[in-house]
Amino acid sequence: MSKTIFQHIIDREIPAKIEHEDDRCIVIHDRDPQAPVHLLIIPKTVIPRVGDAASGDEAVLGHLLVTAGVVAKKLGIRRGFRLVINHGPDACETVPHLHIHLLAKRQLTWPPG
């Protein structure tokens, strides 16, 4: 299987604006932002989709959520943010490498659509 765009970014083969990185994940700014702050929180371990995650992935999945909070605080996001995970074509998933969108700094509508 060929590398995803996220693997190329993690391997520094494609440039990206990196907001945060540690041994388990990387956080980059989305190239097509849907809010004033639109980050992608990406595990370095490839999990194709959230529905493909296994019990052994629990630590990484939890780390992604904790990282979202850490990065939001770092950026001074105080009024709220939304986390989104897309799974499959009906959810508009475009890269088969699990990632969490963090959207903030504008009023978000509900229900999302």
Residues annotated as catalytic (active site), given as ranges: 99
Distances, alpha carbon 90 to alpha carbons 68, 93, 111, in Å: 25, 8, 16
Spatial distance between the Cα atoms of 86 and 100, rounded to a whole number of angstroms: 8
Spatial distance between the Cα atoms of 89 and 92, rounded to a whole number of angstroms: 5
Contact between 42 and 54 under an 8 Å Cβ cutoff? The reply is no
Of residues 111, 63, 55, 61, the one with CA closest to residue 85: 61
Spatial distance between the Cα atoms of 50 and 96, rounded to a whole number of angstroms: 10
